[in-house]
Homo-oligomer: A and B are copies of this chain.
């Protein structure tokens, strides 16, 4: 069969991407659903023999979101044995009209390298892959339960994102180019899962000298208009 031939890919090696987006004040991630089973999973993929791990992840991300040049960070590699459930994978391929033999390499044990991505929710055009029926955004604190160890992968991704948020100044990757201070604060609050003080947040952001101030944003509301900001490109 030509579908995912073992000659092209490295067996036993997979990757899973936790793609974060921000919309309507909520932090969300992308999940794929296999309708025939009702199962949810992270978007992932496999590594070809002649491509870099990172190339494979970027390609997979582009195929699902249409985006190049995405903020991407590897956070952990999962190598437990609870990952190894051939019957789950077999059912998924069967339900998608791609049945595979019992000795197929895709049913063998896999280690998975976890990446998280931060993208501008508005720029995405979602595209399911060959074996999934849909891909969509899910609120980070209203996730369905996921196959295999994907719940743990999401939790670890979120933990790493929180730890890196201040250190790497990556919050802006979830917003469009120009945004208000309030929007930036909402991103931080959604990621950290806690309210922040408005004045302290503003003071801290401005003191770091990473933001550029632009024109005001007039929304038609009856109050002072906020400035728009962008991250300095240095």
Contacts and interface: CB of A to CB of B under 8 A. Distances in A.
B113 A79 contact: yes
Interface in A71-119: 74, 76-81, 109, 111, 113
Contacts of A78: 53
B81 A10 contact: no
Contact of A49 (B10, B49, B50, B109): B109
Contacts of A79: 47, 52-54, 113
A111 B53 contact: yes
Interface in A55-78: 74, 76-78
Interface residues of A, number: 23
A12 interface: yes
Interface string A196-208: 0000000000000
A26 B22 CA distance: 46
Contacts of A77: 53, 74, 77, 113
8 contacts: A11-B12, A12-B12, A50-B81, A52-B80, A53-B78, A53-B80, A53-B111, A74-B77
